[in-house]
Structure 1
Amino acid sequence: MKQARHPEPGEMTLVAVLGALSDPIRVGLVRVLADGRERGWGQLHAPVAKSTLSHHLRVLRDAGLTRTRQEGTRCFVELRRDDLDARFPGLLDSVLDAAHSDDIGAHVHVSDSPA
């Protein structure tokens, strides 16, 4: 598998980040990844097909919100909180607070067991 490209913090744009956060599934993925833990893709559960979930994860990665790491046949994803906070101070916390209060993305969850 080809190594995924991750934009450098200076390459992240507000338009790309906000565009990536314009979907409730992607907001839900950011919510579950906000705990700072790296998760296997198989641990992430959303009410969409696996191919659609993969698309959402790619959109988040391409915008710079997440980092994907491959280990053998498994893929892992983590939120790039430090890079986001450095590039757009306060944005992620504001989005997470609003998503929590408006219950956006609550239908996305993570299992504790690796899949």
Structure 2
Amino acid sequence: MSIAVTVAAAPLTPAATQQRIVLPSDSGEEQVVSSSNSAAATSMFSESTTKLIGENERLRKENMHLNKELSNVKSLCNNIYVLMSNFANCNSSNDQAVKPLDTYGKIL
């Protein structure tokens, strides 16, 4: 006697199918999210992506501002250097013409 057995493929349950999503964070840990939560994971991913894009733009603006300030300070330092160099050169050439007062000299 032979018995025919029909076997149907069992559908995959949401717990059985898991996908690894690496969320951007400082910890560097992987988050495992089941496919039943894929909408929530996508929402979290897009929300964190939006936050990162916003923070990136803010940091770019701050970087541009700081680069401008740095450029201004470098220019100011260069101007001070040129001024002091000119003063030192002028002083060394006039050194013989104008002598400092000798406070320990003879008083007559």
TM-score by length of 2: 0.22
Larger Rg: 2
Q: Which has the higher contact order (CA 8 A, sep 6+)?
A: 1
TM-score by length of 1: 0.21
Q: Which has the higher helix share?
A: 2
Question: Which structure has the highest strand share of the two?
Answer: 1
